[in-house]
Structure formats: C-alpha cells, structure tokens
Amino acid sequence: MLEKVDENPTRQNIITLLKKNGGMTIEDLSKKISITPMGIRQHLLSLEKKGLVSYIAKKHGIGRPGFVYMLTESADDLFPKTYDRLALDILKQVKKNDGQDKINKIFGWRRDTVLRQKKEALSGLTGMDEIMHGLKNLLVSEGYFAELEKEGDSYILKSYNCPIRKVASEFNEVCMDELQLFRELLHRNVSMEQCIGQGSPSCVFSVPSA
C-alpha cells in the first residue's frame, strides 16, 4: 500500500502508475487517468517540487524530444518496507544457532562502525555546546525527531521516535550499545533516563556538560 503524499487522489494515482510502468509521458498519464495534459502537468510539477518525480528528455523521430517522467529514489520511501522484520528474523536465528555472545559481537561491530562515522561527521566542532548541537542535527538528518535542551549542568538529548524501534523492543542490546556509543563519542558519563525500546514515549539521554 502506498503511503499518502497528500489528500489528492490524482497525485496518488500518478505515483502508482509511475511505479508500475517505470516512466510515462504526460500524454500516457492523461489517457490513463482521463484528465487533460495540462492538469497532469500541474500535478507533476507539485510532485517534482516535493522531490518525488523527475524527468528525462527522450527523442522520438523528427522534432522536439518528449519528456518521460519517473519516480525519484525519495519516492521509493512512500512504499512499505519490511527491513525491520528481516533484521529481527536474522537476529533471532543468530541467537538461536550461535548464542547471545554472537549477538553481542554483532551489535558491538555495529557500534564501532557508527562511532567512527559520527566522529568523522562531528570532527572540526569545538566546545561541548557546539558538539551537542552538531550531534542533535546529525540525529535529525538520520531520521530521528530529536531535541536538545540545557538543564543546569547537563544537556538533555531527547528523541521522540526510534527508526529501529521494533528491533530495539526485542533486542535491548541495541539501546545499551547506543548509550555506550554516546559515552565514547562525547567522553562523558552519559545516562539513559528513558528508552522507547522499554516502553517509554521517548529516548532521553542526560549528558554532563563538564
């Protein structure tokens, strides 16, 4: 099922048709949907502004080239994915066949990789305030609904969503590894006050400012 871009059923229809056909001209879409080419063009312009549709020029014999419209990579996110189910199935099989030690190693490898990436992304930032705001912005760019506050001698980093919530709810190791990652990244005794994976409405980390 396609996630709604907005409440306009014509744009939903256009996205579905482009997904099925790989690429279509305005004329093709007009015939399929039974509205004028001008109407189709306006809907395509709206989808293009949202980064969901692009086009390429295609030569057809003599004359000006026509344009073929297609979905962008961003539009692929509108269609359901089952990555979390795949990840859970794999982790459960690893735990069943190789034990908890292998699970710990897998999450440890992931933590080390993510830690290197975040260190690189935050390199060049100086001062705890700058680093914390850089970390918050980095998390937002990764899909987290994150906020940062200063309370007394601590920074409070909150995330109101968890992109890997289904995995975290069954494998709390990933939450503990994230806590350890923040400790190593920030060189502070970070504490986890709340955790979505354990049923809380948000993940809350307290980071000493000094």
CATH for the stretch 9-78? 1.10.10.10
Strand 53-58 to 66-71 pairing = antiparallel
Span 169-179, pLDDT tens digits: 899 899 999 99
Q: Identify the residue whose tokens are 């990579």.
A: 73
Q: With cut-offs at 50, 70 and 90, classify the pLDDT of residue 61.
A: low
What CATH homologous superfamily does 83-208 map to?
H-NOX domain (3.90.1520.10)
Other Cβ atoms less than 10 A from the Cβ of 101: the count is 9
Residues constituting the chain: 210
- Strands, DSSP E only, in 9-58? 53-58
Q: What is the pTM of this model?
A: 0.67
Cβ atoms of residues 153 and 208 within 8 Å: yes
Q: With cut-offs at 50, 70 and 90, classify the pLDDT of residue 33.
A: very high
pLDDT of residue 83: 79
Q: Identify the residue whose tokens are 């399929």.
A: 32
In the chain, CATH 1.10.10.10 sits at 9-78
Is residue 82 exposed (0-12), middle (13-18) or buried (19+ Cβ within 10 Å)? exposed
Q: What value does the mean pLDDT take over residues 4-29?
A: 87
Percentage of residues of the chain with pLDDT beyond 90:
70
Span 117-152, pLDDT tens digits: 999 999 999 999 999 999 999 999 888 899 999 999
